[in-house]
């Protein structure tokens, strides 16, 4: 690591302090901010509205450490998976998924918040690899900038911004890296920078109850998604070890509190595992849990992972389970499968395979 000043993640006020400290006029800060977050540029030499001598000076004393794309894979359905490396050589995977539902040519970006994951869900490739470290807020923002830039370059689009939605659903448990995750959201949302609307952001948690209570107090317009996957404690303990710390009663008390406080609709994610959580009794207890709440259920047919024995249910079972929930009065969607051919689908991210 060098001793250059890191500019990624500084607010405009902090950048102003920095430029004044190096003897430059304050307004340069806004120009630099615009280059980083709107034009996605991290080479000072390319910042064409800055005087040349300032560009050289900045290059000597400062750095904008946007992480690097090491590899990318493109799925037949247009999903792209990037293997991205930070300055300390730690790597995560990030996925951009075409939004076929609105034909806009825009994408959803699935962001990671940790390198690896400490939760260790039994169906997830990330969990298998263990936990390495939290990402900082500016590394999370860096993942956004790198992905957006790479996507634009590769599909040669002249659209200003190709990423319409961000889901914090990649590697890691966002609410276990709470402060950095929230700070990254404010950064993505900043109208003078990336300017992504809060309503276009979803945070997904495996059920980190203390984080749900904190999030309820933030006054954010983001969507909260809960990875539920089981409607009884015995099975949920097996699938998501965090359930032993926060069993379903605690989780649902937190979700009720969140809904009362924010009046925002919550999504329950439910991975469909053949012969594990797709029986009529599972549907019945799921209906009992979710029906009283302002909530949707999103069914995710399992994406199979090497060395993990779970399987995706046959199509007729998926349909049956969906119909049980709908006739029980729930709002249900089935997630369209994207990126499974390049191991980019939900639960399939694992940098280990790529090294």
Active site residues: 93, 346
Q: Is 330 in the site for ligand SF4 (CB under 6 A)?
A: no
Binding track over 146-175 against ligand SF4, x by CB under 6 A:
-------------------------xxx--
> Strand, helix or coil at 176?
helix
Q: How far is the CB of 201 from ligand SF4 (least distance, A)?
A: 17
User: CB of residue 163 vs ligand SF4: minimum separation in angstroms?
Assistant: 21
Cα gap 83→91, rounded to integer Å? 7
The binder of ligand SF4 chosen from 67, 127, 193, 301 (CB under 6 A): 127
Is residue 117 within the footprint of ligand SF4 (CB under 6 A)? yes
And the tokens for 259? 């809904």
| Piece of 39-47, 121-129, 179-187, 253-261 that binds ligand SF4 (CB under 6 A) | 121-129
**What angle in degrees, to the nearest 10, is found between the helix axes of 209-216 and 248-262?**
10
Number of residues interacting with ligand SF4: please give it, by CB under 6 A.
12
From 180, 347, 350, 351, residue interacting with ligand SF4 (rule: CB under 6 A): 347
If one asks whether residue 241 binds ligand SF4 (CB under 6 A), the answer comes out as no
Residue 212 contacts ligand SF4 per CB under 6 A: no
Q: Pick one of 78, 120, 247, 328: the residue that binds ligand SF4 (CB under 6 A).
A: 120
Q: Are 115 and 92 in contact (CB under 8 A)?
A: yes
166: tokens are 């961000």
| Contact residues for 202 (Cβ-Cβ < 8 A; gap 6+) | 165, 166, 167, 168, 169, 222, 223, 224, 225, 267
305: Cβ contacts below 8 Å, ≥ 6 apart: 123, 124, 125, 128, 343, 347, 348, 350
Can you give the binding site for ligand SF4, defined by CB under 6 A? 117, 119-121, 124, 126-127, 171-173, 206, 347
């Amino acid at each position: 690591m060098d001793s250059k000043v890191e500019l990624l993640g500084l607010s405009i006020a902090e950048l102003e302090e920095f430029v004044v400290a190096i003897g430059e006029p304050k307004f340069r800060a806004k120009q630099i901010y615009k280059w980083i977050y709107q034009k996605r540029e991290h080479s000072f030499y390319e910042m064409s509205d800055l005087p040349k001598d300032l560009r050289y000076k900045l290059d000597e004393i400062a750095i904008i450490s946007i992480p690097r794309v090491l590899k990318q894979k493109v799925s037949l359905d247009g999903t792209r998976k990037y293997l991205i490396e930070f300055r300390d050589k730690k790597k995560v995977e990030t996925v951009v998924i075409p939004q076929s539902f609105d034909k806009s040519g825009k994408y959803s970006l699935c962001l990671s918040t940790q390198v690896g994951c400490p939760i260790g869900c039994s169906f997830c490739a990330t969990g298998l690899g263990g936990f390495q470290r939290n990402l900082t807020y500016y590394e999370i923002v860096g993942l956004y900038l790198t992905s957006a830039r790479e996507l634009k370059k590769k599909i040669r689009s002249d659209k200003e911004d190709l990423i319409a939605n961000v889901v914090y659903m990649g590697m890691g448990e966002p609410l276990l890296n709470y402060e950095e995750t929230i700070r990254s959201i404010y950064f993505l949302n900043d109208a003078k920078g990336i300017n992504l609307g809060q309503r276009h952001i979803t945070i997904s948690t495996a059920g980190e109850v203390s984080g749900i209570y904190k999030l309820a107090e933030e006054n954010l317009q983001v969507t909260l998604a809960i990875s539920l996957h089981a409607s009884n404690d015995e099975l949920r303990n097996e699938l998501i070890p965090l359930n032993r710390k926060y069993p379903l009663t605690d989780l649902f008390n937190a979700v009720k509190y969140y809904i009362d406080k924010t009046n925002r609709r919550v999504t329950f994610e439910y991975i469909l595992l053949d012969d594990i959580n797709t029986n009529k009794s599972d549907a019945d207890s799921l209906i009992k849990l979710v029906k009283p709440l302002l909530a949707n259920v999103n069914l995710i047919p399992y994406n199979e992972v090497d060395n993990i024995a779970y399987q995706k249910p046959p199509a007729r079972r998926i349909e049956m389970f969906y119909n049980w929930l709908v006739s029980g009065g729930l709002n249900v969607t089935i997630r369209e499968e994207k990126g499974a051919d390049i191991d980019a689908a939900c639960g399939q991210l694992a940098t280990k395979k790529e090294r």
